[in-house]
């Protein structure tokens, strides 16, 4: 795997889908981390700018550009696995949603965030959810504390691996405020005649600055295009510059010892956890979008490996969309499942070896989401249950 | 015959934040809160009706309202959102009957919101012409789809073989767990996003086609919204900012129903039209001359403790909270010339004239913790954001929310005070300088701090010149460190000595100096709570308050 490290040269802002109309007082807070497609698009543009021209890209006349980056209407072979955050040279992964994050008070009066693993439990009650199982607080997680939303909470890769593998508590949870700082940028429109601020032409946007030792990283396959000679990427609102650096890295989520234990756990329980590390836009007509997911639906997780959905835990859906530069109009917007979403699936014993092959990372619904899997959506890993 | 079992049921609607937070105008904010509250009241009435009709035993645990209160809403509190977003109740019936009732409740609440959205579209776009009929039909269909997709309804009916409290806790635990299993929608929106709530398309009677570019799509929207009725357009060019729906505002169904909710409920309740008028604009808060107003957000502390008891204790708690929300809060807000937007359970959201907000905040806090008006022994934390009436409402709400969180994090181990139970205050002046947040306990060392602040403001108004604050700030600003915990001990003595020296110099009537010292005896307490930076900010905040006080009559220096 290759790592494309992106460090902002200045403050930045990811606008999301907010409409900026002159004449309306507005306050925007943007979003962070950016959607994978935003980073994908920026990397694609930077590569074209460095090695060719946009005119050639439009015409499809440069064969290398066409092969890697495609054309305005078609994607090339360039593929991004995921967009993650790195702090002090260690990757941060979203806290899985089968953990309950809470603010708790320690004996010395200090407040801290901890995340306790939820337990799979049969759902015998009448409810608006049809799933036969749910994830509740086990004895360990019955402690008192205020629940905290998963959005914007991460743990280091090392702690994530240990906690998820052993169903242990997560501590040292990193909040977004430890990754980015913000400040408010204010704008007004001056009336040329009176030199006074025009009414209702006032806007404020929350600009972000990256904290020291933090950076965005894009995981790309080893056999992808070479970005080592691309020094800068224009990323986010106002096309602000980000420094780009390419390095090689070993991406292996589980150690060989853990893989053996994972295999054993899958044979013992037949239940696997599929944990999303990046958001997922579901394909159209996917049975997961049915109000009641069909109980007998067999989900082809990866080529030939079919599983049965036991239960899931997800957060409030996030908005996916963007601006279609070619058509000069907003792209159709839809909802995506946030990173950290977890599916519990029942696996068939003969499929376990193939499933283990994908344990360190694969893309859900690859080839079914109109290129979004190319952009780094739906990057998931496999873990066992207890 | 089917087996009759006791069930513990929870029925909740949302999303609360999205319904309320994305507000451009006061009426959006009120409309969102009120719609949720209304839908819960509608569901409570449905439970009562269905259970009576089918002779099912039921008992509402939370919120506590009598059937009479539900059936005949009237009086000034009619326009106040004072129902929380969930209902808990017990039911004695067969599993099949319970399932049927819960599904009926869900369908009822969804249908009711569709009915309101239909009314809103009709009200805004219908002009009785055949073309308008077609247009309205198309918009109603789009609106119905949007409200159906938007509304989250979660419910559980947990079978309790015995009347034991652990069943209730188990049901609550399961309910929280099931909320994590949200439906996974795929509902693509193809057009231009709503100006207020960006997740949904603005309503448009012509669907966008694949060849449309942005300009065409915008034109379709302008055509649609250009046909809104005159009531929702600017009266003239000068008045364009005051229009109910501005010329460049394009709304989705959710934003539209919030925007016209006042009109809907005025007609629905057939009540005094002035009852809903105060939710028109923040400009109406205080006097016309007031440029500033305050947003107050209060939330009870550690409420889980009050709901962990036995069922009858929980019902008592519920009754007390309902009384607080429906009686105590409206009375206090009215007394302080405020506008009450939401009072459900332990939550309060209200807007006040600046000069009233400290006193109102303290009255609400006291009422909340007293047996006669609220919940005995309960404490609450409050965020108070003060800003200009032209500050975007969303910014004010976000600020109040942040302040409430800051108040919740208040701890003062040094004085042995409990965690939380505090208020946080900030000012967003038009100049752009941000003052605050000043986080203070309601009371410390036997001193009522809101009263103390009010007293200092009064002194600044007529006895001391505020110039001392700016001199003091310029002297000590350079000593403000990033880590307040590491301020040297000697700093306090130095700061207070200089503070009092400057105050002495700033007294208008020098003969009052000695007396003034007595009046400012508690100032060191404020310093110890806030340390240097917070203290400087607090003085500036009080100087800001003083501008509001200037018009009031001369006060007696000894007035408490």
Chain A within 8 Å of B193 (Cβ-Cβ)? yes
Work out the average pLDDT over B50-72: 84
Q: Which 82-111 residues of chain B touch chain A by CB within 8 A?
A: 95, 98-99, 102, 106
Query: What does the alpha-carbon distance between residue A253 and residue B234 come to, in Å, rounded to a whole number?
Result: 60
Count Cβ–Cβ pairs < 8 Å, chain A vs chain B: 155
Structure tokens at B231: 């009531």
Closest-CA residue of chain A to B215:
A329
**pLDDT bucket at B77, cuts 50 / 70 / 90:** confident
Cβ distance B173 to A314 less than 8 Å, yes or no, reads no
Query: What does the alpha-carbon distance between residue A43 and residue A38 come to, in Å, rounded to a whole number?
Result: 9
Cβ distance A126 to B98 less than 8 Å, yes or no, reads yes
Cβ distance A17 to B198 less than 8 Å, yes or no, reads yes
Q: Which 272-331 residues of chain A touch chain B by CB within 8 A?
A: 282-286, 288-289, 291, 311-317, 319, 321, 327-330
Three-class DSSP category at B515: helix
Residues of A within 8 A of B390 (CB-CB) are: 25, 202
User: For residue range A331-355, what is the model confidence (pLDDT) as tens digits?
Assistant: 888 889 999 999 999 999 999 999 9
What does the pLDDT read at residue A32?
A: 92
pLDDT at A139 over 70: no
DSSP per-residue letters across B275-305: GGGGGS-GGGSS-TT--EEEEEEEEESSGGG
Provide the shortest C-alpha distance from residue B157 to chain A (in Å).
Answer: 5
**pLDDT bucket at B289, cuts 50 / 70 / 90:** confident
* Dihedral angle over CA of B112, B117, B123, B127, nearest 10: -120
User: For residue range A44-61, what is the model confidence (pLDDT) as tens digits?
Assistant: 999 999 999 999 999 999
User: For residue range B396-408, what is the model confidence (pLDDT) as tens digits?
Assistant: 888 999 999 889 8
Least confident interval from A95-99, A380-384, B327-331? B327-331
Cβ distance A134 to B419 less than 8 Å, yes or no, reads no
**pLDDT bucket at B118, cuts 50 / 70 / 90:** very high
DSSP per-residue letters across A316-348: S-EEE--EETTTTEEPPBEEEBPTT-EEEEEE-
Of A27, A127, A317, the CB nearest to B394: A27
Residue labelled with tokens 């702690």? A159
Work out the average pLDDT over A17-24: 61
Of B99, B181, B185, the CB nearest to A312: B181
Q: Which 321-360 residues of chain A touch chain B by CB within 8 A?
A: 321, 327-330, 332-335, 337
Q: How many residues does chain A have?
A: 386
Q: Which 33-92 residues of chain B touch chain A by CB within 8 A?
A: none
What does the pLDDT read at residue A361?
A: 94
Residue B423 CA: distances (Å) to CA of A16, B171, B253, B301: 34, 34, 37, 12
Least confident interval from A203-212, A217-226, B11-20, B459-468? B459-468
Closest-CA residue of chain A to B189:
A333
Identify which of A1, A2, A3, A5 has the alpha carbon closest to the alpha carbon of residue A232.
A5
Query: What does the alpha-carbon distance between residue B359 and residue B353 come to, in Å, rounded to a whole number?
Result: 11
Does an H or E element contain B545, and which? helix B523-549
pTM of the full predicted structure?
0.87
Work out the average pLDDT over A113-128: 90
What does the pLDDT read at residue B398?
A: 87
**pLDDT bucket at B558, cuts 50 / 70 / 90:** very low
**DSSP-derived pairing of the beta strands A197-210 and A26-28:** parallel
**pLDDT bucket at B104, cuts 50 / 70 / 90:** very high
Chain A within 8 Å of B153 (Cβ-Cβ)? yes
Residue labelled with tokens 């599904």? B103
B493 or B560: which carries more pLDDT confidence? B493
Cβ distance A105 to B419 less than 8 Å, yes or no, reads yes
**Which are the contacts of A213, defined by CB distance < 8 A and separation ≥ 6?**
A87, A88, A89
Structure tokens at A33: 């981390």
- Give the whole-number percent of chain A exceeding pLDDT 90: 61
DSSP character at residue A382: E
Of B180, B199, B395, the CB nearest to A314: B180
pLDDT at B552 over 60: no
Provide the shortest C-alpha distance from residue A342 to chain B (in Å).
Answer: 10
Cβ distance B395 to A204 less than 8 Å, yes or no, reads yes
Provide the shortest C-alpha distance from residue A19 to chain B (in Å).
Answer: 6
ipTM of predicted assembly, 2 dp: 0.86
Chain B within 8 Å of A181 (Cβ-Cβ)? no
Chain B within 8 Å of A188 (Cβ-Cβ)? no
Provide the shortest C-alpha distance from residue A52 to chain B (in Å).
Answer: 28
pLDDT at A231 over 80: yes
**pLDDT bucket at B538, cuts 50 / 70 / 90:** confident
User: For residue range B130-149, what is the model confidence (pLDDT) as tens digits?
Assistant: 888 898 999 999 999 999 98
Which residues share a beta bridge with A348? none
Least confident interval from B66-80, B166-180, B234-248? B66-80
Residues of A within 8 A of B185 (CB-CB) are: 289, 317, 335
What does the pLDDT read at residue B557?
A: 35
Cβ distance A19 to B15 less than 8 Å, yes or no, reads no
Provide the shortest C-alpha distance from residue A47 to chain B (in Å).
Answer: 27
pLDDT at B19 over 80: no
Report residue B399 CA to chain centroid gap.
Answer: 12
Closest-CA residue of chain A to B100:
A126
DSSP character at residue B445: T
What does the pLDDT read at residue B554?
A: 37
Of A17, A136, A283, the CB nearest to B174: A136
Q: Please give the sequence-ordered ranges of beta strands (E in DSSP) within B402-496, or none if there are none.
A: 422-428, 435-441, 443-444, 447-448
Cβ distance B174 to A21 less than 8 Å, yes or no, reads no
Work out the average pLDDT over B536-555: 67
**pLDDT bucket at B506, cuts 50 / 70 / 90:** confident
- Give the whole-number percent of chain B exceeding pLDDT 70: 92
Q: Which 200-259 residues of chain B touch chain A by CB within 8 A?
A: 201, 208, 212-214, 217, 241, 246, 248-249
**pLDDT bucket at B413, cuts 50 / 70 / 90:** low
Cβ distance B181 to A105 less than 8 Å, yes or no, reads no
Chain B within 8 Å of A1 (Cβ-Cβ)? no
What does the pLDDT read at residue A195?
A: 81
What does the pLDDT read at residue B164?
A: 65
Q: Which 116-155 residues of chain A touch chain B by CB within 8 A?
A: 118, 121, 123-129, 131, 134-137, 144, 147
Of A17, A21, A111, the CB nearest to B409: A111
Does an H or E element contain A94, and which? strand A90-94
Q: Based on the number of CB atoms within 10 Å of its own CB, is A107 exposed (0-12), middle (13-18) or buried (19 or more)?
A: exposed
Least confident interval from A19-33, A200-214, A300-314, B115-129? A19-33
Closest-CA residue of chain B to A23:
B248
Provide the shortest C-alpha distance from residue A248 to chain B (in Å).
Answer: 36
Identify which of B397, B450, B424, B402 has the alpha carbon closest to the alpha carbon of residue B282.
B397
Which residues share a beta bridge with B54? none
Cβ distance A317 to B419 less than 8 Å, yes or no, reads no
B80 or B298: which carries more pLDDT confidence? B298
Q: Are B456 and B520 in contact (CB under 8 A)?
A: yes
Identify which of B197, B188, B214, B215 has the alpha carbon closest to the alpha carbon of residue B252.
B197
């Amino acid at each position: 795997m290759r790592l494309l490290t992106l460090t902002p040269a200045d403050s930045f802002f990811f606008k999301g889908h907010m409409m900026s109309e002159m004449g309306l007082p507005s306050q925007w807070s943007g979003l962070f981390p950016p959607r994978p497609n935003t980073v994908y698009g920026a990397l694609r543009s930077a590569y074209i700018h460095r090695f060719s021209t946009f005119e050639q890209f439009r015409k499809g006349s440069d064969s290398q550009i066409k092969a890697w980056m495609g054309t305005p209407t078609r994607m090339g072979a360039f593929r991004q696995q995921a967009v993650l955050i790195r702090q002090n040279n260690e990757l941060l992964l979203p806290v899985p949603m089968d953990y309950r994050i809470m603010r708790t008070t320690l004996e010395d009066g200090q407040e801290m965030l901890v995340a306790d693993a939820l337990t799979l439990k049969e759902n015998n009650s009448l409810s608006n959810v049809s799933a036969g199982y749910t994830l509740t607080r086990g004895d360990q997680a019955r402690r008192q504390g205020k629940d905290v939303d998963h959005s914007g909470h991460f743990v280091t890769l090392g702690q994530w691996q240990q906690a998820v593998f052993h169903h242990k508590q997560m501590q040292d949870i990193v909040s977004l405020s430890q990754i980015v700082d913000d400040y408010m940028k204010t704008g007004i429109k001056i009336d040329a005649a009176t030199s006074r601020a025009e009414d209702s032409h006032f806007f404020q946007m929350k600009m972000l600055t990256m904290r020291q030792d933090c950076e965005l990283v894009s995981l790309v396959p080893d056999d992808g295009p070479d970005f080592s000679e691309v020094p800068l990427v224009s990323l986010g609102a106002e096309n602000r510059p980000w420094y780009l650096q390419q390095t090689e890295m070993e991406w292996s989520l589980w150690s060989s010892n853990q893989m053996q234990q994972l295999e054993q756990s899958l044979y013992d329980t037949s239940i696997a956890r599929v944990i999303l590390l990046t958001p997922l836009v579901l394909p159209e007509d996917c049975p997961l979008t049915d109000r009641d997911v069909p109980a007998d639906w067999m989900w082809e997780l990866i080529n030939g490996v079919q599983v049965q959905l036991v239960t899931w835990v997800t957060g409030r859906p996030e908005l996916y969309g963007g601006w279609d530069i070619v058509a000069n109009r907003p792209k159709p917007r839809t909802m995506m499942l946030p990173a950290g979403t977890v599916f519990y699936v029942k696996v068939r014993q003969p499929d376990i070896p193939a499933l283990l092959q994908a344990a360190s990372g694969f893309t859900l619904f690859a080839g079914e989401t109109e290129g979004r899997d190319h952009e780094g959506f739906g990057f998931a890993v496999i873990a066992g249950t207890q | 015959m089917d087996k009759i079992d006791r069930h513990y049921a929870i029925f909740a609607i949302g999303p609360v934040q999205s319904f309320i937070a994305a507000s451009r105008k006061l009426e959006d904010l009120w409309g969102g809160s009120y719609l949720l509250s209304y839908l819960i009241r509608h569901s409570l009435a449905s439970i009562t009706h269905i259970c009576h009709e089918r002779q099912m035993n039921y008992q509402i645990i939370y919120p506590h309202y009598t059937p009479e209160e539900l059936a005949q809403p009237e009086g000034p509190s009619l326009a106040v959102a004072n129902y929380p977003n969930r209902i808990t109740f017990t039911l004695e019936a067969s599993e099949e009957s319970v399932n049927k009732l819960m599904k009926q409740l869900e369908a009822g609440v969804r249908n009711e919101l569709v009915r309101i959205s239909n009314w809103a579209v009709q009200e805004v776009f219908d002009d009785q012409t055949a073309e308008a009929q077609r247009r309205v039909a198309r918009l109603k269909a789009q609106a119905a789809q949007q409200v159906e997709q938007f509304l989250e309804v979660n419910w559980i009916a947990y079978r309790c073989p015995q009347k034991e409290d652990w069943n209730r806790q188990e049901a609550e635990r399961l309910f929280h767990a099931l909320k994590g299993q949200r439906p996974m929608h795929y509902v693509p929106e193809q057009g231009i996003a709503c100006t207020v709530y960006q997740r949904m398309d603005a309503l448009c009677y012509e669907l966008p086609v694949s060849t449309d570019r942005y300009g065409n799509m915008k034109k379709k929207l302008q055509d649609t919204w250009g046909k809104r009725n005159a009531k929702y357009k600017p009266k003239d060019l000068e008045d364009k900012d005051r229009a109910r729906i501005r010329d460049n505002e394009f709304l989705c169904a959710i934003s539209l129903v919030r925007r016209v909710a006042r009109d809907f409920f005025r007609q629905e309740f057939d009540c005094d039209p002035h009852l809903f008028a105060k939710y028109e604009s923040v400009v109406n808060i205080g006097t016309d001359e007031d440029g500033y107003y305050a947003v107050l957000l209060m939330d009870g502390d550690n409420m889980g403790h009050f709901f962990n008891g036995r069922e009858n204790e929980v019902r008592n708690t519920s009754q007390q909270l309902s009384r607080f929300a429906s009686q105590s809060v409206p009375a206090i807000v009215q007394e302080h010339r405020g506008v009450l937007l939401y009072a459900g359970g332990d939550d309060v959201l209200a807007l006040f004239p600046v000069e009233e907000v400290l006193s109102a905040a303290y009255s609400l806090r006291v009422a909340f913790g007293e047996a006669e008006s609220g919940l005995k022994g309960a404490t609450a934390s409050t965020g108070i954001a003060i800003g200009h009436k032209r500050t975007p409402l969303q910014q004010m709400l976000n600020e109040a929310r942040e302040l409430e969180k800051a108040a919740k994090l208040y701890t003062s181990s040094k004085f042995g005070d409990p965690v939380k139970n505090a208020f946080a205050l900030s000012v967003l002046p038009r100049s752009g300088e941000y003052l605050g947040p000043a986080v203070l306990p309601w009371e410390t060392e036997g001193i009522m701090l809101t009263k103390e602040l009010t007293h200092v403001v009064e002194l600044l108004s007529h006895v001391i010149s505020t110039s001392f604050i700016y001199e003091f700030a310029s002297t000590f600003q350079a000593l403000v460190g990033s880590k307040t915990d590491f301020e040297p001990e000697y700093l306090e003595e130095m700061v207070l000595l200089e503070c009092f020296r400057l105050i002495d110099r700033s007294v208008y009537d020098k003969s009052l100096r000695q007396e003034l010292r007595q009046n400012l005896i508690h100032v060191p307490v404020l310093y110890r709570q806030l340390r240097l930076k917070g203290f400087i900010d607090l003085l500036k905040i009080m100087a800001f308050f003083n501008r509001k006080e200037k018009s009031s009559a001369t006060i007696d220096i000894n007035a408490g």
